[in-house]
Amino acid sequence: MVNLEQTINELHDLNAERDAFSSISGYFFQFELTLLHILYDGSEKDAFSDKECKATYKVETIEDYVKYYKKDDKGYIRLAQMKHHVSKTTNSKYYSAVLSLYYTYLNFIEKNETNIELRATIFHYDMSPVKDIYTVLTSAIESEDKSLQSIITKIIDTGLDSEVNRLSFSQITSFEKTETHASISQILKQELSNRYQSLHPNHTPERLYASAVSKLIQDSGNGLDLSIETLNSLFLDEVEIMKGFYQLKIIDYVKGIIDSCINEVDINFRYTEEVKTTYAGIYVDFIAPFIEVKFQHPEFRYSFLRTVTPKEFSKAIELNSLSEYESFLEASDAIKQTLSNLAKIIFNYLSSGEEIRLEDWFEITEKGWLFDYPSEERGKGVLIGNFYGDIFSSLYYMLPRLKDRDLRPDVWYVKHDDVDINASNQLNYEVDITSPSEDLHKHIYAQPFDDHYHIQCLGCLTVSNLSDCKKVNNIFIDQCRVKGV
């Protein structure tokens, strides 16, 4: 008798404490790749090279998903971990995943289920060569990383860790490279379209994709099984997209931007491990949770884009829709620059010993995100993505959004390349940009309001050197301090 379901449940109970979505990003990458694997089930493209099987899939069971089926009186269990990194990675990035799989493996062999075959794969995208499971496992067990000590202790406590079992685990477990998240999304949309678009006139590629991911999210959240038959039956009729789907997708996308910020710091050889750890904590503990909470409100997502994007901005965005998500894609550079600037400001503030409460640093309305830094001398400001090229074109787009009396900031924090506006030895600070000299700035698009605002050039923020904070406080002082005096 094959105790397949019982074995899966027992192994899952041993991993019940694992954080389902512990990484900053990857929520949609995981679901989309899982869907693709279900579509390929039992075919030549099967993720585990299983032929002519009709498997059942459970998301967030034991690992990111478990695939299982019976064939010829034998049971088969396949475990999948999914990781997506936007840069090169070291072995340590996969320590936790490999240790988790090894712990499951040791508990599996203790059950001595000879008529069940177990295999595991870490499906990953990064810019590094494929890694060796045995090497990563050995290094992980010897690691002194405090965050890994709990799982290492569990492994040791089984009494089964040995050189023989490490080698046998390495034979049934592998790393496998995937395409980028963007490519996986396109492949999934194409596959769904090829299979199901002809079944109903409203089955557009985007609607098929959104409804399929929606179903996976909802069914997995309810602990339901999935299979190729489940998807086939779903698309026989007109499909629905879960409420809040694009909100989740936008939040996941911005978390991916945050993840890339962390990776860029992590791979920079100039920074110490302490600096890297500090910045990772800033993004994970402060910025990501704050963004996720605020982005629950559609009007705050919209006002965020209006605040940070120094380009033409469509007024025809429908909130909670594909058009809103595409607007975030288009604004990715501005979002990344804004969050990077905020991260260094937080890094500098840590030295003050004061508590960091981003809730107190931002005044957020449906019109914009005002930045109210504790030591700013000039009032409230806005953090804006970098101005590139012609600064006056950026001003043309930004001024109408920021001139409202209920919003108008006192300071614009923005990096730009225009010598007429940047601080220099010849020009300490251009303070009255709403009423510029006609001779000097004939081409500026602004009205001569009685009041003025400051454009803070961010030269002293030096985001090219994230560990250097000597001049950071200068960007909050009235009048520029070119040399940091």
pLDDT score at 430: 45
pLDDT of 136 over the 60 cut: yes
Distance CA 216, CA 214 (A): 5
H-helix or E-strand spanning residue 18: none
Average pLDDT rounded to a whole number, residues 115-135: 94
> Residue 65: which H helix or E strand, with range?
strand 65-71
pLDDT band at 334 (very low <50, low <70, confident <90, very high): very high
This prediction's pTM: 0.87
Convert the pLDDT of each residue in 25-83 to its tens digit: 568 999 999 999 999 999 999 999 999 899 999 998 999 999 999 998 899 999 999 99
For residues 282 and 161, give the distance between their C-alpha atoms in angstroms, rounded to a whole number.
36
Helix (H, G, I), strand (E, B) or coil at 447: coil
pLDDT at 427: 46
Please report, in angstroms and rounded to a whole number, the separation of the first and last CA atoms in the chain: 79
What number is the average pLDDT over the span 368-397? Answer: 87
Domain boundaries, the chain: 4-181, 245-476
Q: How many CA atoms lie within 13 A of 372 on its CB side?
A: 13
Q: Report the candidate in 240, 248, 244 with the shortest Cα–Cα distance to residue 203.
A: 240
* CB burial of residue 113 (10 Å; 0-12, 13-18, 19+): middle
**Is the pLDDT score of 452 beyond 70?**
no
Which tens digit of pLDDT belongs to each residue from 314-333? 667 889 999 999 999 999 99
147, pLDDT greater than 60: yes
Provide the pLDDT for residue 287. 97
- In whole angstroms, give the CA distance from residue 47 to residue 55: 12
Measured between alpha carbons, how far is 107 from 169 in angstroms, rounded to an integer? 12
Residue 448 has pLDDT above 50, yes or no: no
Please compute, for residue 475, the number of CA atoms within 13 A of its CA located in the half-sphere on the CB side: 31
Stronger pLDDT, 363 or 23, i.e. the higher one: 363
- Predicted confidence band at 1 (pLDDT cuts at 50, 70, 90)? low
Residue 18 binned pLDDT confidence (cut-offs 50, 70, 90): low
Q: What percent of the chain has pLDDT over 90?
A: 65
Cα separation of 82 and 380, whole Å?
42
Residue 355 has pLDDT above 90, yes or no: yes
- Lookup: tokens for 216: 């996976």
- Note the pLDDT of residue 446: 42
Question: What would the pLDDT profile of 218-258 be if each residue is shown by its tens digit?
Answer: 988 888 899 999 999 999 999 999 999 999 999 999 999 99
Residue 90: the pLDDT is 87
Q: Quote the percentage of the chain above a pLDDT of 70.
A: 88
